[in-house]
Structure 1
Amino acid sequence: MLHLFAFAALAATAPCPHPKVHDGDTIRCGAERVRLANIDAPELAGSERCSRASRRRLAGSRNPAWCDSALAERSRATLAALVARGSTRLAPIGRDRYGRLLARVMIDGRDAGAYLIARRLARPWR
């Protein structure tokens, strides 16, 4: 049964021929903003989520702000290098509250989110 589910997930993917990396957990496929599903990458310098007020507001949330700009740059660079090396496909899941497409992002069959988590450049979204 698991193999059937994995096959169905692969069959439901869509190509993203020229992805542009915004940060460690967001890319663009043409005009579509795509949020990598189920991960959280650190915020880039200047992110509103890292303002004092936002950090205070988010401190007790399921997804507090992760403000480490040096790690954020490494996360973005690693994702950019990964998408540059292979074919990018999306397995859409839905939309987030900002209207971005939530999707598993696959590079030559490899889950980009899991790749970043394994390198400690992202963490599972809580």
Structure 2
Amino acid sequence: MRQFLIAFIFLLATPLGMAQQEVKLQNFNKVSLASVYDGDTFKVYLACRYSIFCKAIPVRVRGVDCPEMRGGTEETKAAAKAAKAFTKQFLRGGKILLRNCGRDKYFRLLCEVKVNGSDLGTALIKHGHAVPYDGGTKTL
């Protein structure tokens, strides 16, 4: 537990301007779903003993971009709702594992997300809810 807290504090204390390869990426195994915002963003509770660290933490799925819930056309909003529903069902399907977590430009955890050995990002793309995304200019 102590190692987890030290790793988590280090992750949060890393300057935003550091290159991703300079930061050691973290894995989190004891995760429970708090809420789903859209297809590629949700909040989790990380296992912890001290209430100051037991807040819902935002997570962004690494490598994908889903339609946004706000703005855009009605068609885009409908696609965003479908992606959100898919992600919610996927995350409720078993044990959530967060792999290779760093931080994105909005201070969220940026992670590969696995449930029962299946990758959420891959599933979102396969089912037409997302496109590949590397952090550059969005295509959706």
TM-score (norm 2): 0.63
Match of 2:97 in 1: 89
* Runs of 4+ deviating beyond 4 Å: none
Unaligned runs of 5+ in 2: 1-26, 46-55, 135-140
Q: Could you tell me which amino acid in structure 2 is paired with residue 125 of structure 1? A: Y
Taking the TM superposition and a 5 Å limit, the aligned residue runs for 1:60-71 are 68-71=76-79
Q: Distance in 2 between matches of 1:15 and 1:113?
A: 20
Q: Is the contact between residue 74 and residue 121 of structure 1 (CA under 8 Å) also seen in structure 2? A: yes
Of all paired residues, the percent bearing the same amino acid is 32
Unaligned runs of 5+ in 1: 1-11, 51-66
Highest RCO, 1 vs 2 (Cα 8 Å, sep ≥ 6): 1
Which amino acid in structure 1 is aligned with residue 102 of structure 2? G
In structure 1, what is the equivalent of residue 60 of structure 2? Answer: 35
Whole-angstrom distance in 2 between the partners of 1:105 and 1:73: 20
State the alpha-carbon separation in 1 of the partners of residues 62 and 128 from structure 2.
Answer: 16
- Pairing of 1:1-126 with structure 2 (within 5 A): 12-30=27-45, 31-44=56-69, 46-47=70-71, 50=72, 68-126=76-134
Structure 1 residue 109 displacement after superposition: 1.1
Report how far residue 68 of structure 1 moved.
0.8
Query: May I ask how many residue pairs the two structures share in their alignment?
Result: 98
Indicate how the Cα distance of structure 1 residues 15 and 92 shifts in structure 2: closer, same or farther if over 3 A, else same: farther
> Structure 1-normalised TM-score?
0.70
State the 1:18 CA deviation.
2.8
